[in-house]
Chain A
Amino acid sequence: MEHYLLRHRDVANIHKLDVYRANGGFDALKKAVTSMQPQQIIDEVKTSGLRGRGGAGFPTGVKWSFLPNNSWPHYVVCNADESEPGTFKDREIMEKNPFQFLEGVALACYAVGANEGYIYLRGEFFGIRNFLDECIAEMEAAGLLGDKLFGTNYSLRLKTHLGAGAYICGEETALLESIEGKRGQPRVRPPFPAVVGLYGKPTVINNVETLANLPLIVDKGAVWYRTMGTEKSPGVKVFSLSGNVVRPGNYELPLGTTFRELIFTHGGGIPDGRKVKGIMPAGASSSIIRVDDTTFDTVMDTPMDYENVQNVGSLLGSASVIIIDDSHDMDWVINKTVHFFKHESCGKCTPCRDGNYWMYHIVDRIHEGHGSQKDLALLMSVANQVNGKCLCALGDFSTMAVTSALERFPEDFNKKVKA
């Protein structure tokens, strides 16, 4: 199948501006700025059904339409903080197909009337930041950014901002705090960033992959876009496949592709004759899907879109599909995830900060073989006291693997603990 987001896999050197332009690059931006009203872009994106690829799956065009027209300036902020364990798709788009991504940022800016866009990258993406700065400079030199774009009165500047290692900055209000020079801790909502965002101004925050879809939609139209994917989850998605598979990596596929096709056709199946035991379709934040002889076919035939993954007890999220084979026990798996969330909790909300501290110590005790049956109940109780009780979703995320592992893989825990 042709790649629309990972276009570098079909077109050599598309990371070079002249090659990108020779292959239709920036036609969409020129068309938009010279012949379309911002509202037309918003309507086209709404019609396309594009949903946010960062994990929440919220309709992009609808998100844009929340910005009030009586408060200016407007800002567009790209969330390039990609930090969910199991996710590595935005990175490939920015490294290999940077101009399609940047054209998408520019289109989003035009659509919401922003003259300034920020790209917030996780600090570890130091090299990508430098590369994007070069790309932005090339665009400025070529008249694709700056004042009076394509002879119109529209002007646009893009800036990168480098984070410094904090998962929480992928949460959109924490990200804004970080750009403003503060600790990356979530804000109380409302007000939402669409009304009070960066520097107190109306702000749209979109994920890298979401933005990379925009040139396609503006260029080829919403009707074409909807020919891919499903009715409620249209378009293509980059699935990051990791863990116990023969060929881990990014796979660009239509939304609604089954687990079977991703894991076995593309990923080459499970190495060493092992079986799939669990799937975390949304990275470390997932509820773990149990796969055994009775559930295997049901899970494998499930289409991976925003609706159907819920039917097997999890969420699609950012489609960071972690495969766990039957050589691993779930007390080890959640020891890893809870360790992650304990480290990444920003500390603002007590249930998340203290809850993760305690979950980590209980899980560690169980994993080391010093736990009791009482600890299993205690762990569930702590998780339930974190879930739904924090300002942002990190607290909830931290409990997903824990509660699903306890409920769906009780044998792994029962054999570890004393009566």
Chain B
Amino acid sequence: MSLTEKYNEEVKAILAKYPNKRSAVMPLLYLAQREGGFVTKESMAEIGAMLGMETTEVAAIVGFYSLYHDEQAGKYRMQVCADLPCALRGADKFLETLCSNLGVKVGETTSDGMITVESVMCLAGCDRAPMFQVQDGDVVTYHENMTIDKTMELVEALRAAGKEVK
């Protein structure tokens, strides 16, 4: 199904928001990513046609911004900040332990396809490290002042929620 078929009202609202059509590209890409967690070639072409952009121009936007993805990963992307302020408060060790508990390396997905662990740049949560965000389609949720125990509880909750969706 195309984006206009699936999200007609939202697409209309996004297109009406800006004085310049092309400004709609970022909100439309979030919409395209909502269900599968990544933007398909078809969606890029559809958005391009809507906004008068080449598909490659849309793909260039997807490639430039780190919250857009063009490939499938786990249902939930667990994005741990390991930048300097967080690292001074133990983020590297946290990330390493999380990966070993989940049996993955940074960038890999758990065998059940639910969780992809990623190391990302500063998330403006430096005083509450270790911290990470969970990206689920077009939704981003912060988790701060985390411990490994709390994180593993969250992982189980996400796995249960993810199965229901499936």
Which A residues are within 8 Å of any B CB, using their own CB? 82-88, 90-91, 122-127, 159, 161-167, 178-184, 199, 240-244, 248-250, 280, 284, 320, 322-325, 328, 333, 336-337, 340, 343-344, 346
Contacts and interface: CB of A to CB of B under 8 A. Distances in A.
Given A85-B122, A165-B66, A183 B127 contact: no
B83 A123 contact: no
B139 interface: yes
Nearest to B85: A242
A323 B122 CA distance: 16
A145 B147 CA distance: 43
Range of interface residues on B (Cβ < 8 Å): 35 or more
A164 B29 contact: yes
A243 B89 contact: yes
A88 B85 CA distance: 11
Given A127-B142, A181-B24, A242 B121 contact: no
Given A159-B17, A180-B22, A181-B26, A336 B87 contact: yes
A127 B124 CA distance: 13
Interface of B: 17, 19-27, 29-30, 51, 53, 60-61, 64-68, 83-85, 87-89, 120-129, 133, 138-142
Contacts of B89: 242-244, 248
A24 to B, nearest CB: 29
Contacts of B138: 126
Nearest to B123: A124
Contact of B88 (A165, A179, A183, A244): A244
A323 to B, nearest CB: 8
A164 B66 contact: yes
Nearest to B60: A183
A241 B127 CA distance: 7
B26 A166 contact: no
A174 B28 CA distance: 20
A256 to B, nearest CB: 23
Given A87-B124, A167-B122, A181-B24, 14 more contacts: A82-B124, A83-B122, A85-B83, A86-B126, A88-B127, A90-B124, A183-B60, A183-B61, A184-B64, A240-B126, A242-B127, A322-B88, A336-B84, A340-B122
A90 B126 CA distance: 13
Q: Which 10 A-B pairs have the closest CB atoms?
A: A165-B66, A164-B65, A181-B22, A248-B127, A242-B126, A165-B67, A85-B122, A126-B140, A242-B85, A181-B25
A333 B84 contact: yes
A84 B29 contact: no
B127 A124 contact: no
Question: By CB atoms of chain B within 10 A, which of A88, A165, A240, A320 has the most?
Answer: A165
Contacts of B125: 88
B22 A336 contact: no
Contacts of B20: 180-181, 199
A340 B67 contact: no
Contacts of B128: 248
Contacts of A337: 84
A83 B67 CA distance: 14
Contact of B124 (A124, A184, A280, A322): A124
A243 B25 contact: no
A284 B122 CA distance: 10
Given A124-B140, A180-B20, A322 B27 contact: no
B88 A164 contact: no
A3 B60 CA distance: 44
A336 B83 contact: yes
Contacts of A182: 22, 61
A127 B122 CA distance: 17
Nearest to B120: A165
Contacts of A199: 19-20
B127 A163 contact: no
Nearest to B23: A181
Contact of B64 (A86, A91, A124, A166): A166
A284 B25 CA distance: 31
B124 A91 contact: yes
A320 B68 CA distance: 28
A179 B84 contact: no
Nearest to A164: B65
A123 B140 contact: yes
A167 B121 contact: yes
Contact of A178 (B26, B66, B87, B133): B26
Question: By CB atoms of chain A within 10 A, which of B27, B65, B128 has the most?
Answer: B65
24 contacts: A82-B124, A83-B121, A83-B124, A85-B126, A122-B124, A124-B124, A124-B133, A162-B30, A164-B65, A165-B67, A178-B26, A181-B22, A181-B23, A181-B51, A183-B60, A199-B20, A244-B89, A248-B128, A284-B84, A284-B122, A324-B88, A336-B87, A337-B84, A340-B84
